[in-house]
């Protein structure tokens, strides 16, 4: 049988999606593959169809225990013999399945990575023929990714133990260079056919909302989408719990999910959402990899995540059925502070830390740009578009008037220059505003010719403009905990009068709301700092800070 017939007869589809045929064909021909397709792109078929075309058993390594059963059930319904091995089985079930695998009863075996190097499994796989091993969600092997699973590192050892090296197929929706390099190197893919299909998700609307009262916005949004299913992502467990409570009190049908909940509780909550018993899922980033709920109509990020990759994966859980859906990121400067603290309390090498900061900044830029958001996202994944405007993102649809800010930009750029490109956004804004801040005076900046030349603006407004200039490339920000504002080649063009800059008016934040938010942030920062100290000193936090329990502190984690 050929792939086209299998597609029709077993799966009931008329034609292949982008990349599917090429990948299947390569595998059947005997070449390793690396398939990079967006969420919902149809990666599963790329290993399921070859499995049917090859002698022996195909192994599918997947971290998604909850999804294995669903996939296996679906395959069986289509008349394909498949099974799975993971920690949900009893010892007896496990034994039976292993025997069945030995007897050649299955074409496809899904297996969790932790099971690979167990004695029982190794005993069997050395007796049977395994022509092909598919590694789903293969970005989990890379420490650069946000979904790193230590058990994925066990895969190469397992492969080496097989009698014959099988063909390898790695599949992921992640397309960043470091991760792809890692996948190829760690798995030792042999001259793989590498296919990256387009990353665009045309049915998704992308929006960024800033300078808003997030709660008000959210409530309003939910009221206007009351019969729809959606996910709301928050940064920490604590925020998940408080938002869930608040929405429940207001009568919304809500489930929640975070890393601090027990397994049972999490599963119940996830099922309630998957089977539409509750419409809204409020969760940290612990929720979602591989979630195959087709009718998610919106994904709202109540807090900004840590990078574009994580954002696109999470947002991509909307509209898997191809229907119009919305992905909205609610931005506030406090979220950046929050993300930086999360970075700080994580132990990592300096090189990696720089990268993490840089990736964070790219997402901050996404939030401040006036460019088409879709274009920005696709460019991040290395895809060039032949259009400037998608017509379906909050920037393309924003027709508010733009103001010429070339003069302001020139003032800012020359101030950065005069401050020797050595200070952060706040300091630059303070100098331009003519602030009497102690640090400003100590450093003698009151003598700079640019001191106070923007005293008709608040420092906050100046900061907004600087962030916009960074987002558009007229300024750059160094990586690290205390980023410094630098000039770029584009700054020179502006200073020489070769380029004009236009910016939309920002909506002013409600002042006391902001004050309260800042106060809250400070409190949180304090806790995060305590946790950091505790971690550094290798002492349980409650020893140093008896008023704060470990459990309480864990609430500040995702």
- Candidates 26, 54, 68, 390; binder of Zn ion (CB under 5 A) is 390
Rg over alpha carbons for the chain, rounded to the nearest Å, is 26
Contact, 175 vs 37, CB < 8 A? Answer: no
In this complex, which beta carbon is closest to ligand ADP, that of residue 16 or of residue 556?
Answer: 16
- Residues numbered 358 to 387 that lie near Zn ion (CB under 5 A) are 372, 374
Query: Smallest distance from the beta carbon of 64 to Mg ion, in angstroms?
Result: 8
In this complex, which beta carbon is closest to Zn ion, that of residue 202 or of residue 382?
Answer: 202
Query: Smallest distance from the beta carbon of 171 to Mg ion, in angstroms?
Result: 7
Supply the DSSP symbol for 109: E
In this complex, which beta carbon is closest to Zn ion, that of residue 387 or of residue 482?
Answer: 387
198 binds ligand ADP, rule: CB under 6 A: no
Query: Smallest distance from the beta carbon of 137 to Mg ion, in angstroms?
Result: 7
Contact, 445 vs 451, CB < 8 A? Answer: yes
473 exposure class (CB count in 10 Å sphere: 0-12, 13-18, 19+): middle
208 binds Zn ion, rule: CB under 5 A: no
Tokens representing 383 are 């895809």
SS3 447: helix
SS3 519: helix
Give the Cα separation of 375 and 378 in Å (integer). 5
Contact, 191 vs 32, CB < 8 A? Answer: yes
Longest distance between any two alpha carbons in the chain, whole Å: 85
Write phi, then psi, for 415 (nearest 5 degrees).
-65, -45
**Intra-chain end-to-end CA distance of the chain, in Å:** 48
Query: Smallest distance from the beta carbon of 57 to ligand ADP, in angstroms?
Result: 20
Give the Cα separation of 357 and 112 in Å (integer). 32
DSSP 328-391: EEEE-HHHHHHHHHHHHTS---HHHHHHHHHHHHHHHHHHH--S-HHHHHHHHTT---S-S--S
131 binds ligand ADP, rule: CB under 6 A: no
Query: Smallest distance from the beta carbon of 502 to Zn ion, in angstroms?
Result: 17
17 binds ligand ADP, rule: CB under 6 A: yes
Stretch that binds ligand ADP, among 34-42, 92-100, 425-433, 483-491 (CB under 6 A): 34-42
- Residues numbered 279 to 298 that lie near ligand ADP (CB under 6 A) are 292
396 binds Zn ion, rule: CB under 5 A: yes
Stretch that binds ligand ADP, among 36-44, 211-219, 469-477, 492-500 (CB under 6 A): 36-44
- Candidates 98, 330, 393, 470; binder of Zn ion (CB under 5 A) is 393
Tokens representing 365 are 């830029």
Query: Smallest distance from the beta carbon of 98 to ligand ADP, in angstroms?
Result: 27
In this complex, which beta carbon is closest to ligand ADP, that of residue 44 or of residue 285?
Answer: 44
- Residues numbered 43 to 102 that lie near ligand ADP (CB under 6 A) are 43-45
In this complex, which beta carbon is closest to ligand ADP, that of residue 201 or of residue 530?
Answer: 201
Buried b (16+ CB within 10 A) or exposed e, 57-74: bbbbbbbbbbbbeebbee
Give the Cα separation of 60 and 109 in Å (integer). 6
Query: Smallest distance from the beta carbon of 155 to Mg ion, in angstroms?
Result: 17
The interface partner of residue 16, options being Zn ion, Mg ion, ligand ADP, none and the CB cut-off 5 to 8 Å by kind, is ligand ADP
In this complex, which beta carbon is closest to Mg ion, that of residue 134 or of residue 409?
Answer: 134
Binding site for ligand ADP (CB under 6 A): 13, 16-17, 20, 37, 39-45, 292
């Amino acid at each position: 049988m050929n792939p086209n017939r299998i597609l029709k007869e077993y799966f009931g589809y008329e034609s292949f999606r982008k990349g599917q045929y090429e990948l299947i064909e390569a595998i059947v021909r005997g070449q390793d593959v690396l398939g990079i397709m967006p969420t919902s792109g149809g990666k599963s078929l790329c290993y399921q169809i070859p499995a049917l075309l090859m002698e022996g058993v195909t192994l599918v390594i997947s971290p998604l225990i909850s999804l294995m059963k669903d996939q296996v059930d679906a395959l069986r319904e289509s008349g394909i013999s498949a099974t799975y091995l993971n920690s949900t089985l009893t010892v007896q079930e496990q034994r039976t399945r292993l025997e069945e695998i030995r007897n050649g009863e299955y074409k496809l075996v899904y297996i969790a990575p932790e099971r690979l190097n167990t004695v029982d499994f190794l005993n069997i796989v050395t007796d049977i023929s395994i022509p092909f091993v598919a590694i789903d969600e293969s970005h989990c092997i890379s420490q650069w990714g946000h979904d790193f699973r230590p058990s994925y590192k066990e895969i190469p050892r397992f492969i080496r133990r097989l009698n014959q090296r099988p063909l390898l197929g790695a599949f992921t929706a992640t397309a960043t260079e470091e991760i792809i390099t890692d996948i190829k190197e760690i798995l030792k893919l042999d001259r793989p056919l590498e296919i990256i299909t387009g990353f665009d998700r045309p049915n998704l609307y992308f929006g960024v909302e800033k300078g808003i009262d997030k709660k008000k916005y959210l409530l309003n949004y939910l009221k206007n989408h009351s019969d729809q299913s959606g996910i709301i992502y928050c940064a920490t467990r604590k925020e998940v719990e408080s938002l869930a409570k608040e929405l429940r009190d207001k009568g919304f049908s809500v489930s929640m999910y975070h890393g601090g909940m027990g397994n049972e509780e999490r599963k119940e909550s996830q099922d309630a959402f998957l089977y539409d018993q509750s419409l809204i899922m409020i969760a940290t980033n612990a929720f979602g990899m591989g979630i195959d709920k087709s009718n998610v109509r919106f994904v709202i990020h109540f807090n900004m995540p840590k990078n574009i990759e994580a954002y696109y994966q999470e947002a991509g859980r909307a509209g898997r059925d191809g229907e119009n859906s919305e992905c909205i990121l609610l931005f506030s400067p406090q979220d950046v502070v929050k993300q930086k603290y999360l970075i700080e309390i994580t132990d990592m090498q300096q090189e990696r830390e720089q990268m993490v900061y840089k990736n964070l900044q790219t997402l901050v830029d996404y939030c401040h740009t006036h460019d088409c958001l879709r274009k920005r996202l696709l460019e991040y994944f290395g895809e060039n578009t032949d259009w400037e405007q998608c017509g379906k993102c909050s920037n393309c649809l924003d027709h508010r008037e733009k103001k010429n800010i070339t003069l302001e930009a020139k003032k800012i750029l020359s101030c950065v220059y005069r401050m020797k490109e050595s200070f952060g956004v706040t300091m630059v804004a303070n100098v331009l505003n003519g602030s009497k801040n102690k640090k400003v005076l100590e450093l003698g900046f009151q003598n700079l010719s640019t001191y106070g030349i923007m005293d008709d603006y608040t420092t906050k407004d100046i900061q907004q403009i600087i962030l916009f200039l960074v987002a558009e490339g007229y300024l750059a920000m160094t990586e690290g905990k205390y980023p410094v504002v630098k000039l770029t080649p584009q700054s020179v063009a502006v200073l020489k009068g070769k380029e004009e800059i236009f910016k939309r008016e920002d909506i002013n934040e409600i002042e006391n709301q902001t004050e309260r938010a800042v106060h809250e942030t400070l409190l949180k920062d304090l806790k995060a700092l305590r946790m950091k100290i505790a971690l550094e000193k290798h002492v349980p936090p409650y020893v140093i800070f008896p008023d704060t329990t470990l459990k309480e502190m864990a609430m500040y984690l995702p």
